DNA sequence: AGTATACGAAACCGAGGAGTATCGGAAATG
DNA sequence: CATTTCCGATACTCCTCGGTTTCGTATACT
């Protein structure tokens, strides 16, 4: 199995120059960027390598194929994500939702949606990627919405019989639709209008004076 | 200009074997099918020709390039579409919306969404296609919803201050999201749940006994 | 009949991109 | 210093696919 079974015990120090871990993250970030701009089929390994300031060999030493690189890059988007443990808790559903659409969140969501659009065609052929992308891009947001909605419902702020799952997917759905199909940017105004004109009325929250 | 200016006046009968018009529709339908299954980049002209039972030359005699073929095929989807003049008018918003999601509509919407997903990457590079696709696939549905909503609002069935544009896009947005991102099929149950649990509450329609 | 075009099938051409190999140099171990 | 592996750069192979051409046949007009 292991051709290097001389002295370094198991996963110990290998011989020769060690790998530069910074190349990994640079390549993964470049992959996400090119993916968002060009889509999977429009993206070439040379583009990624050039943007990362790396050589093609350095890419292929780490990932066996273009598809594996993309799958790994998408999976790594999940890490720097909102932590369910520190969701906003302002006392009202509207306050929580508004807090969730702060400026960096909007720009970040816009790029994530473009990545999603870029790998749509590949997702048909790679079910594993489809699950990974859902978990990395959509699931966190939907889960956060679900938690906020359940909390508000248990407070008696909404109707008691709301369809939490459906409503939790509402904002991601309308956002992706606007970005990908209507090709208009996600703005803070759009998100707030979504909260006040669609989501809160649908949840049966009485409209406060604005 | 016209190298054939002998006897046939202007656009009259040409010389030789005339073109078979049935090949046009066969090729266009095959294009839509392959597009929905494979996406633009995964689709090859050979696939389309084979499925249409035609030769590649027959395709290229009619459309100068793959992109032109796809643009034309998408544009032709608009023809067999719902006519705004004969929208349902049942007296209630819910009745109208339910009537609009009859069985053939659901299956048709599912395929249209897959086509939309298949050309997403191309739409970035071809703004003309983006407009065409929107007009052929989404606009008719959104417009129909808008008309029904405005009618209901003017009847006093909804709150008077509803955001018609936002609400008209709600069902297409949630449908495309479910199809493309969540990869679950569009069922009649899903659409009705959307109407009863999201759209009507958001529009302020009082829930009738079900 | 003669001519001109359309048809399906298949060979063909050229560009572009995935993946591999090579090279000179750098960074680690011994 | 010798060895080994990593690095960026680049040349190279192989294959797919868009698009063109050819061929034998079919179908129109004159």
| Mean pLDDT, 10 residues at a time, chain B of 210 residues | 38 79 98 97 98 98 98 91 83 96 83 95 90 95 96 97 97 97 93 97 79
Q: How far is CA B31 from CA B39, B51, B57, in A?
A: 10, 9, 15
Tell me, what's the pLDDT at B208? 62
Model confidence pLDDT, tens digit, residues A79-107 = 777 777 789 999 999 999 999 998 788 88
Q: Which residues of B touch A125 (CB under 8 A)?
A: 42
Cα–Cα dist A210/B7, whole Å:
75
Opening angle at CA B76, ends B84 and A116, nearest 5: 95
Q: Smallest Cα–C1' distance to nucleotide D8: which residue has it?
A: A55
Cβ partners under 8 Å of residue A160, min gap 6: A153
Answer whether residue A194 shows pLDDT above 90: yes
Nearest residue in chain B measured CA to CA from A131: B182
SS3 B196: helix
Confirm whether any atom of chain C, the nucleic acid strand, is less than 7 Å from CB of A16. Answer: yes
- Strand D contacts (Cβ < 7 A) comprise A 4, 14-20, 23, 49-50, 53-58, 61; B 7-8, 13, 15-18, 43-46, 56-57, 60, 64-67
**B2 to chain A, closest Cα gap in Å:** 40
SS3 B161: coil
Answer whether residue A172 shows pLDDT above 90: yes
CA–C1' gap, B17 and D25, in angstroms: 12
Residue A42 to residue B123, Cβ atoms within 8 A: no
Paired tokens of A103: 């400026």
CA–C1' gap, B16 and C2, in angstroms: 12
Do residues A210 and A200 make contact, with C-beta atoms less than 8 angstroms apart? no
Do residues A94 and A205 make contact, with C-beta atoms less than 8 angstroms apart? yes
Phi and psi of A187, rounded to 5°? Answer: -115, 165
Q: Which residues of A touch B145 (CB under 8 A)?
A: none
Exposure string (b/e) for A72-101, b if CB count within 10 Å is 16 or more? bbbbbbeeeeeeeeebeeeeebbebbbebb
Q: Which residues of A touch B38 (CB under 8 A)?
A: 121, 124
Cα–Cα dist B36/B113, whole Å:
8
**What single DSSP character describes residue A183?**
-
Cα–Cα dist B135/B156, whole Å:
30
Q: How far is CA B85 from CA A105, B98, B143, in A?
A: 43, 18, 12
Cα–Cα dist B177/B163, whole Å:
21
Tell me, what's the pLDDT at B2? 36
Q: Show which positions of strand C are touched by protein (CB under 7 A).
A: 3-11, 16-23, 25-30
Cα–Cα dist A110/A180, whole Å:
10
Q: Is residue A169 within 8 angstroms of chain B, CB to CB?
A: yes
% of chain A exceeding 70 in pLDDT: 92
- Burial of residue A120 (number of CB atoms within 10 Å: 0-12, 13-18, 19+): buried
Cβ partners under 8 Å of residue A53, min gap 6: A26
């Amino acid at each position: 199995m292991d051709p290097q079974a001389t002295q370094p015990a198991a996963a110990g120090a290998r011989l020769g120059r060690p790998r530069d871990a910074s190349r990994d993250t640079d390549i993964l970030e470049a992959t996400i960027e090119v993916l968002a701009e060009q889509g999977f089929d429009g993206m070439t390994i040379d583009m990624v390598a050039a943007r990362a300031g790396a050589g093609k060999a350095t890419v292929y030493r780490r990932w066996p194929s273009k598809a594996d690189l993309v799958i790994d890059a998408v999976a790594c988007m999940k890490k720097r994500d909102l932590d369910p443990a520190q969701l906003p808790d302002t006392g009202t559903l509207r306050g929580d939702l508004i807090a969730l659409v702060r400026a960096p969140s909007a720009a970040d969501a816009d790029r994530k949606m473009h990545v999603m659009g870029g790998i749509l065609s590949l997702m048909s052929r790679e079910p594993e990627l489809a699950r990974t992308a859902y978990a990395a891009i959509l699931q966190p947001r939907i889960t956060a919405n679900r938690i906020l909605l359940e909390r508000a419902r248990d407070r008696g702020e909404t109707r008691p019989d709301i369809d939490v799952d459906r409503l939790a997917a509402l904002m991601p759905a309308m956002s992706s639709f606007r970005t990908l199909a209507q090709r208009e940017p996600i703005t803070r105004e759009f998100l707030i209008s979504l909260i006040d004109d669609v989501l809160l009325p649908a949840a049966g929250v009485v409209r406060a004076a604005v």
